[in-house]
Amino acid sequence: MNLYISFTHVERRANMPVIKVWCLPPNQNEEALNRLHQTIVGAVCKIRELGFRGQEDMTCLFVPDLMQYGLGGKIIIEIGGFFNKAERTPGFCQRLALSVGTSVCNLYRNARVECFVQTFDPVQGFWASPEPERCPECGGRVTRNGTCVKCFSCNWSQGCS
């Protein structure tokens, strides 16, 4: 079995794209996956309208494939988690698919690559944990107990007796 790393951000914001990569060639090492990850991030950031700056704006998952047969022949990339918005036209989605698909193709020249971009309407089913509260001084995580809010990174507090 191939054990691919899953790259997930703990502080994931709601409605960031989720990029899933399937059927990579077997035995990808950490270095190869990092290179692939950076390539995908760069290809997504090239689509300027997104206003993305880097890997913190998306989640990239390298999914373990349980069957080795056929791996690496065809690499499938799914880009989901995009809300339907007026500016996310078919042309936009097409450029995103092209940018990510061709850059992954350049890394894995023996593979055929398919990239799907899927937008969705959040009213049809979406929920996310609320954004964590942040310390106004240092940006660290705060804990709230009634009216008392405390930061454990810098000792900032408000409303505590």
Q: Exactly one of 43, 44, 113, 151 binds Zn ion (CB under 5 A); which one?
A: 151
Rule CB under 5 A: say whether 56 interacts with Zn ion.
Answer: no
Rule CB under 5 A: say whether 136 interacts with Zn ion.
Answer: no
Which contacts (CB < 8 Å, 24+ apart) does range 100-106 have?
100/19, 100/40, 100/43, 100/44, 101/77, 102/43, 103/39, 103/40, 103/42, 103/43, 104/21, 104/36, 104/39, 104/40, 104/43, 104/75, 104/77, 106/39
Among 27, 39, 115, residue whose Cα is nearest residue 72: 27
Rule CB under 5 A: say whether 132 interacts with Zn ion.
Answer: no
Rule CB under 5 A: say whether 160 interacts with Zn ion.
Answer: no
Among 7, 133, 136, residue whose Cα is nearest residue 60: 7
Rule CB under 5 A: say whether 140 interacts with Zn ion.
Answer: yes
Rule CB under 5 A: say whether 128 interacts with Zn ion.
Answer: no
Rule CB under 5 A: say whether 158 interacts with Zn ion.
Answer: no
Rule CB under 5 A: say whether 133 interacts with Zn ion.
Answer: no
Q: Exactly one of 6, 153, 158, 159 binds Zn ion (CB under 5 A); which one?
A: 153
Q: Exactly one of 14, 128, 154, 160 binds Zn ion (CB under 5 A); which one?
A: 154
Which residue's CB is nearer to Zn ion, number 140 or number 159? 140
Stretch that binds Zn ion, among 20-28, 74-82, 95-103, 134-142 (CB under 5 A): 134-142
Interface residues with Zn ion (CB under 5 A)?
135, 137-138, 140, 151, 153-154, 156
